[in-house]
Structure 1
Amino acid sequence: MTVIRALASCHFVVRAGGFVQTFLVLYLTQDRHLSAGTAGSVATAVGIGAVVSLLAGGWLGDRIGRRRTMLIGFSGTALALLALASADTLPAIWVAALLVGLLSELFRPAGSATVADLPGERERIRSFGLLFWASNLGFSVCTATGGLLVQYGYGLLFWLNAAAAVIAALIVWRRMPETRPSAPTGRARLLPAVLGDRRLLALALVFAAHFALFAQAFSSLPLVMAAGGLGTSTFGMVLGLNGVVILVAQPFAVRVLAGLDRYAVLSVSALLVGIGFGLGVFVDSGLGYGLAALVWTAGEIGIAVMFAATFTDLAPAGMRGGYLGVAYAAWGVGTALGPVLGTALLERAGPTVLWLACALMGLVSSAILRACRSLVLAGDSGGERGA
């Protein structure tokens, strides 16, 4: 389908060209000579903006259209990146970083709402899977080339990142029609609907916890591996293995999992992520961490296949963007809090307690996701009775 190929192209382009956020801390400490703490606060500003952006992107997608929201996000991101590159005072850097966060994630819930507008449950799951695959392919390109490009100066990374955003905007402008349902029902009542939907709130909370757990792969795990005498190259190979497995296995996983009960898939996947990190208690070599990564990567793939489609099922037609915005905001909150909470637990209690806590979190998340199926069925039955 043309619209999905265009959307997948956008995901690939913005991830492949997403150099600035990937190398932001290095840029601020090495090129701008800011302290690590100050650089971290700037990165936090981007993260705060991104959470707001995810909520706003879903709401705007329902209000002004998916296509227009993505155009605003991509074109605005290009300008915000150039503003960040030229900012020469700390307040200006903070403001520009916040703008990058506020604009850079508008496309994600709006694009997912475009997929949600498609007819056919299996087609939607396959399309969400393609977007996840394209994003991971783009991220692999970004990490593989960014380290080489940075030797020509960080300014080049900003220009290339801005160019990627412009290219994505052109793809949307030329190739993507508007898919928003014409019926205006519910667009003005998103907040009451969200607060009154216990199924949505339960899923948002459990996924925020899940993504906080998964964030240990990029925060606590490298610290534990370094403390165990394993170098950054070994950690890089573990992350590389994660990326390769996703690129190879995920298209096949979509075909296998699309016809299964999604809450069963989500429950098993959350458990696999918890077990994978819990194996950190028993491993101390690159091979051991690589095998553990295979387990949590299998769980990551299962979650990715079903994540957006699950929230899509809960949403009224006029609120698909808003519901998906809540879903991705849960992802943003989890990824923001995960490193802080994980490293704090690691510092105070040590790696064994951290990995056991991860295993417990995976078990609890798995149980809640299985229980959420009953909530959804009860909600559907209630809707049928009310009809």
Structure 2
Amino acid sequence: MRGLRRWWDDTAGGLPATFWYLWSGLLINRAGAFALLFLSLYLTVARGAPPSLAGLVVGAYGIGGAAGTLLGGVLADRWGRRATLLAAHLAAAGLMAALAFSTHLAVIAVLATLVGVAHSMPSPAFVAAIVDVVPEARRSRAFNLQFWAFNLGMAVASLLAGLLAEASFVALFLVDAAATLAAAVVIALKVPETLTRRPALTPQAVAGRRPGLHTALTDRTFLVFVALTFLLAVLTMQTSTIMPLAMRADGLRPSAYGLVVALGGALIVVGQLFVPRLIEPYRKSSVLAVSTGLMALGFGALTVADGLPLYLGAAVVWTIGQMLAAPPNAQINADLAPPELRARYQSVFYLTFPAASFVAPALGGLSLEHLGERHWLVVGALGLVAAAGHLLAGPRRERRVAALRAAPAERVKSAR
């Protein structure tokens, strides 16, 4: 019993109530965000759209997501975290309800783009609010729980989506809207504004220029980290873009692909809560190097995979890498951001995922077609490059974080 209590304290203890309300809102949001999983099927089956047009509409959702990520970051730093979260959730709920009853394909395309904007806006605000309220020493466990909630919510969403899609597409969109509205209610009732206005601490502010989104886009140390995260995202996207094609080429059925994906999700839901205590003694750059190396090993092993057991074994390896990477990746991203630009930095960071969702299938398809199984050697090599990059960039990142932490103290001294 004492050991269980200690494990709970190490995993989730000492986190403020506001974090748990944010966490609950995120879980409700993810568990209810299932309609877009079936958007292409809805368009082709219920609205008679050809596959090419359905692909364009789904792509429009992705474009809206990239714009919404940047917009959410800017608004969260200007309006505040709570206002941005409420606006995004209420807009998303209304748009999903409109999608449920829209029949014209042009209207559906516009609504899908706007839904992409509304769905992506909360991400920078969620993370910025978590950083605002969680003490630095406990942020790793907070980000670990955030990653766990995201994956648990997506697992629930996948299950519910299949059931609702068989019953009614209208119900699919309306239940999604209701879940989004429920998350908004939790935020409205329980989450206070966490943004604290502070004088800017950036070099641009010292030089007399107002810091903004351009600050994040010209921060070399931060952009190196974003580039390494992009490589990690490209590896992660292989599971949903290129791996199904490779498994089909190996004569495996779609049910085998579903089993591989389900195994990864189950490992995260069961094992993610044990990660913080495991990685706590080690430097973040070392953990990221090991985790990315494991992902490189897992995907590289697909070079020789020709049956389901090998795919399942490789999935275990790369999923462990993903689990180890999640907390330090999020914490480094938070540590590198000046406090007054947290959400803007988050928005630039989150652009890596829509970018990877485009690059991974576009270039991966060509690679698989021309290189065959050697494609996985290229993927493994990218992972090793990212692992080496984290080891090389780690010391500079640590010096940057130390300088940001020292800046408030220096400002207080100068004020005296």
**TM-score class normalised by the smaller sequence:** over 0.9
Counterpart position of 1:254: 276
1:367-386 equivalences under 5 Å are: 367-379=388-400
Q: CA deviation at 1:56?
A: 1.6
AA in 2 matched with 1:304: A
AA in 2 matched with 1:320: R
| Native 8 Å contact 2:336 2:401 kept in 1 | no
AA in 1 matched with 2:393: C
The one of 213, 227, 231 aligned to 2:253: 231
Secondary structure at the aligned position of 1:189 is classed as coil
Check if 1:311 corresponds to 2:333: yes
Counterpart position of 2:5: none
Check if 1:282 corresponds to 2:304: yes
The normalised TM-score by structure 2 is 0.89
The one of 221, 238, 241 aligned to 2:243: 221
| Native 8 Å contact 1:59 1:322 kept in 2 | yes
Check if 1:273 corresponds to 2:295: yes
Counterpart position of 1:299: 321
Q: Structure 2: which 5+ residue stretches go unaligned?
A: 1-15, 411-416
Secondary structure at the aligned position of 2:35 is classed as helix
Counterpart position of 1:84: 99
Q: CA deviation at 1:119?
A: 4.7
Check if 1:4 corresponds to 2:19: yes
Q: Distance in 1 between the 2:73 and 2:328 partners?
A: 18
Question: Residues 277, 146 of structure 1: CA spacing in aligned structure 2 closer, same or farther, 3 A cutoff?
Answer: same
Q: Which runs of 4+ in 1 moved over 3 A?
A: 377-385
Counterpart position of 2:114: 99
Q: Distance in 2 between the 1:45 and 1:303 partners?
A: 30
| Native 8 Å contact 2:217 2:348 kept in 1 | no
| Native 8 Å contact 1:207 1:334 kept in 2 | no
Counterpart position of 1:179: 194
Counterpart position of 2:376: 355
Check if 1:64 corresponds to 2:86: no
AA in 2 matched with 1:61: A
The normalised TM-score by structure 1 is 0.95
Counterpart position of 2:66: 51
Q: Residue deviations 1:19-54, cap 9 Å, x none?
A: 211111111111112111111111111111111111
Q: CA deviation at 1:259?
A: 4.0
With 160-169 and 193-202 compared, the bigger mean Cα shift is at 193-202
Counterpart position of 1:243: 265
Secondary structure at the aligned position of 1:182 is classed as coil
Q: Residue deviations 1:171-192, cap 9 Å, x none?
A: 1001111111221536951233
Q: Distance in 2 between the 1:66 and 1:221 partners?
A: 37
Q: CA deviation at 1:206?
A: 1.8
Q: Residue deviations 1:117-159, cap 9 Å, x none?
A: 1353231111111111111111111112221221111111000
Q: CA deviation at 1:71?
A: 0.2
Q: Distance in 1 between the 2:185 and 2:213 partners?
A: 32
AA in 2 matched with 1:82: A
Q: CA deviation at 1:349?
A: 2.3
Q: CA deviation at 1:269?
A: 1.0
Bigger Cα Rg:
2
Q: Structure 1: which 5+ residue stretches go unaligned?
A: none
Q: Distance in 1 between the 2:315 and 2:241 partners?
A: 14
| Native 8 Å contact 1:70 1:107 kept in 2 | yes
Counterpart position of 1:337: 359
Q: CA deviation at 1:209?
A: 2.3
The one of 134, 146, 150 aligned to 1:131: 146
Secondary structure at the aligned position of 1:88 is classed as coil
Q: CA deviation at 1:363?
A: 0.4
Amino-acid identity (%): 35
Q: CA deviation at 1:380?
A: 5.1
Question: Residues 341, 238 of structure 1: CA spacing in aligned structure 2 closer, same or farther, 3 A cutoff?
Answer: same
Question: Residues 184, 45 of structure 1: CA spacing in aligned structure 2 closer, same or farther, 3 A cutoff?
Answer: farther
AA in 2 matched with 1:160: V
AA in 2 matched with 1:157: L
